[in-house]
Chain A
Amino acid sequence: MNEVFDKVKDIIVDKLEVEEAQVTMEASFKDDLEADSLDVVELVMELEDEFDMEIADEEAEKINTVGDAVNYINSNQS
């Protein structure tokens, strides 16, 4: 769990150029981390590469917060 969160956090910090402290489980990509729609799409692509998984468009649309992403990865990782 923590390991996934840390990896996700690193990617978010790098991609969105935000401070580590801003990246909490509750943080919303659009409202708190100032990501636009395309940023979120890119982020999902990065997560797919990092965790070697495919996230379907319908699932990706439901990812609004850092926690959504971490939970999705935790429950779908092989």
Chain B
Amino acid sequence: MLNNKNALVTGASRGIGRAIALELAKQGANVAVNFSGSEDKAESVVEDVKQYGVQSIKIQADVADETDTKAMVKDVVNEFGSLDILVNNAGINRDNLLMRMKEDEFDQVIDTNLKGVYQCIKAVSRQMIKQKGGRIINVSSVVGVSGNAGQANYTAAKAGVIGLTKSVAKEFASRDILVNAVAPGFISSDMTDSLTEEQKNDILSMIPLEKLGQPEDVARVVRFLASDDANYITGQTIHIDGGMVM
């Protein structure tokens, strides 16, 4: 499905990013695994990706940093020869009620989750324009659409990603570079594992499908958007949330 395609997944050392890296590899793509801090985890993702018989490298970079992202894209192109798929997944959260939220907490989340997407798209744009094609998939969140108490910074960034996705989709459409977003809902992760039973039940009561999503549920949609099956889709945000936000 993605044979001979070359992909870069940001924040791919764990969770949804890791699942995306593995899913793309399973379909035949070579995958560059970006990470910021957890080198050991990134290395183990690289090893897992290689199990599918494709190439893989790990690259440390702060996605919000222009120099870092430029160097990262250069590394990928040097290693793989081209860059066909960019998945902007790297994200952090610094949850707090707005009245208690420090400026620093707001800035950090906007920097990584929104500016990081801008930096990475800018860094790959030249390469993709030269290739006359490419796929960019941004990981937003349903709370970017619905809002969520305690996450003003995070939801602002994730809503921003949706707007960014639409504008860039319009700018690059003539060059056959398709830009879409996915908006996961509550996905099983280290974070959801640490919730209390009561918190979990509260969450489940908001989800029509009455269960948490799995990272693979998101990864399969990303794989679809990266494939030729999605040739006529751009500027869209696909919710993967069990019906939580309609």
Contact = CB atoms under 8 A, between A and B. Distances in A.
Interface residues of B, number: 7
B171 interface: yes
Interface in A22-70: 36, 38, 41-42, 45
A45 B174 contact: no
Contacts of B175: 38
B171 A38 contact: yes
- What DSSP secondary structure best describes chain B's contact surface? helix
A42 B174 CA distance: 12
A45 B175 CA distance: 15
B71 to A, nearest CB: 15
A38 B174 contact: yes
A42 B132 CA distance: 11
Interface in B20-49: none
Contacts of A41: 129
B126 interface: yes
A45 B129 CA distance: 10
B100 interface: no
Contact of A36 (B126, B129, B174): B174
A12 B172 CA distance: 20
A45 B126 contact: yes
A74 B172 CA distance: 31
A52 B171 CA distance: 27
Nearest to B173: A38
Nearest to B125: A41
A41 B172 CA distance: 12
A61 B21 CA distance: 37
Interface string B170-205: 011011000000000000000000000000000000
B16 to A, nearest CB: 32
Contacts of B174: 36, 38
A7 to B, nearest CB: 19
A73 to B, nearest CB: 19
Nearest to B126: A45
A75 B171 CA distance: 32
B171 A45 contact: no
11 contacts: A36-B174, A38-B129, A38-B171, A38-B172, A38-B174, A38-B175, A41-B129, A42-B129, A45-B126, A45-B129, A45-B130
Interface of A: 36, 38, 41-42, 45
Given A36-B174, A42-B129, 9 more contacts: A38-B129, A38-B171, A38-B172, A38-B174, A38-B175, A41-B129, A45-B126, A45-B129, A45-B130
